[in-house]
């Protein structure tokens, strides 16, 4: 829930350790979200990648379970949280997932319920005890819905009812998504590397810097 003034946190949506390290050095990345697809792109295993990521960032690192049944999810989660104190268990928004979230929440294990596409899913995940819910903007846009508006609606509903589960805007694909998400009041945006790289760039910045440097050089003549 939003309480007073806060700054939207930036998470990286990647499993590439080199990319994460680069942006951590910029001082802008607080946490990381991963999934099996992102892990696969690295050519490495989750067991290899997650410990390295957990050492790089101060904030939460979401590691996703593979099982689709409650007991399997819980067993995976208990192993994953042994890796580091900042591990968060990423669980799909399905009935077995909610059962697992309830159990893990009771054990003090933080969870990120992923693949959220509706307000009702977000509400059920939060009530099950999720630490975070991740509505997917881009995939909602793909089916003709307004993904950013969905995030805003979830944030407003959580605030209205005093729900402390934090909202992670996920499936962000471009700068327009970032700009719009900043106005929703969500606590976190998880952003892929290519979009993060675009966020710092602007033609006027480059032109202005070139002009300043040119003026400086001219002043030395």
What is the tens place of the pLDDT at every residue in 35-93? 999 999 999 999 999 999 999 999 999 999 999 999 999 999 999 999 999 999 999 99
Strands (E), 14-148: 31-33, 61-64, 87-92, 111-116, 132-135
Instruction: Look up residue 19 and give its two tokens.
Output: 């990319």
pLDDT at residue 2, as a whole number: 39
Residue 75 φ then ψ, to 5°: -65, -45
The Cα 169–Cα 82 span in angstroms is: 27
| Nearest partner of 165 among 199, 114, 123, 135, judged by Cα | 123
Q: What is the pLDDT of residues 138-151, one digit of tens each?
A: 999 999 999 999 99
Phi first, then psi: give them for residue 183, nearest 5 degrees: -95, 0
8-13 average pLDDT score = 96
Whether residue 203 has pLDDT greater than 90: yes
More confident residue, 37 or 221: 37
- Would you please indicate which residues are annotated as catalytic (active-site) residues? 90
Dihedral sign, Cα of residue 88, residue 35, residue 200, residue 197: positive
Query: Is residue 5 over pLDDT 90?
Result: no
Can you tell me which residue has the tokens 């977000």?
A: 122
pLDDT tier, 158 (very low <50, low <70, confident <90, very high otherwise): very high
Domain spanning 9-219 has what CATH number? 3.20.20.70
Cα 176 to chain centroid distance, Å, stands at 17
User: Mean pLDDT throughout 22-40?
Assistant: 95
Q: Give the tens place of pLDDT for each residue, 88-122.
A: 999 999 999 999 999 999 999 999 999 999 999 99
Instruction: Output the pLDDT for position 221.
Output: 81
- What is the pTM assigned to this prediction? 0.93
Residue 39 dihedral angles phi and psi, to the nearest 5°: -65, -45
Q: Which residues are CB-contacts of 155 (< 8 A; sequence separation ≥ 6)? A: 2, 167, 184, 185, 186
* Banded pLDDT at 6 (limits 50, 70, 90): low
């Amino acid at each position: 829930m939003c309480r007073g003034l806060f700054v939207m946190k930036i998470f990286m949506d990647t499993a590439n350790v080199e990319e994460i390290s680069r942006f951590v050095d910029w001082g802008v990345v607080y946490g990381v979200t991963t999934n099996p697809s992102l892990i696969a792109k690295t050519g490495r295993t989750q067991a290899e990648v997650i410990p390295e990521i957990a050492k790089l960032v101060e904030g939460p690192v979401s590691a996703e379970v593979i099982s689709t049944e409650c007991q399997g999810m819980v067993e995976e989660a208990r192993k994953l949280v042994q890796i580091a104190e900042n591990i968060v268990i990423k669980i799909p928004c399905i009935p077995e997932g909610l059962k697992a979230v309830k159990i893990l929440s009771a054990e003090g294990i933080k969870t990120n319920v992923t693949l959220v596409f509706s307000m009702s899913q977000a509400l059920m995940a939060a009530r099950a005890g999720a630490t975070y819910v991740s509505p997917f903007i881009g995939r909602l846009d793909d089916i003709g819905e307004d993904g950013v508006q969905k995030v805003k609606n979830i944030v407003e509903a959580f605030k209205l009812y005093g729900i402390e589960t934090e909202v992670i805007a996920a499936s962000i694909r471009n700068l327009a998504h970032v700009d719009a998400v900043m106005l929703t009041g969500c606590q976190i945006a998880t952003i892929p590397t290519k979009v993060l790289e675009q966020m710092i760039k602007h033609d006027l910045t480059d032109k202005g810097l070139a002009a300043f440097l040119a003026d400086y050089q001219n002043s030395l003549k």
